Amino acid sequence: MTVETGGRVAASAPFSEHAAAEGDGAWIVSAHPARLFTRDQAITALTVAELGESGYPDSHPLVVMLREELR
């Protein structure tokens, strides 16, 4: 999965079947390379990145709510 803004890649989230300890795999989001995500969490993280690239400040209620979901 990738987020593109203005013709450039803002963030990406490739899937790795070897990333998770359980052997189920995980998504690795470029904005959070040290953390493993489920598919839904990766979509949320990419949405936050896209909002940021679109000019939404970190204090915007939607950004705050989505970041809370990632905790």
CB environment 31-64: b (16+ within 10 A), e (fewer): ebeeebbeeebbebbbbbbebbeeeeeeeeeebe
**Looking at the 3D structure of the chain, how many domains does it have?**
1
The token duo for 71 is: 């905790």
What pLDDT band is residue 18 in, cutting at 50, 70 and 90?
Answer: confident
Write out the residue range of the structural domain in which residue 15 sits.
2-69
This prediction has a pTM of 0.83
Over the stretch 38-69, which tens digit does the pLDDT of each residue have? 999 999 999 999 999 999 999 999 999 999 99
Nearest-5° angle of CA 23, CA 29, CA 30?
130
Q: Which residue has the tokens 């359980």?
A: 22
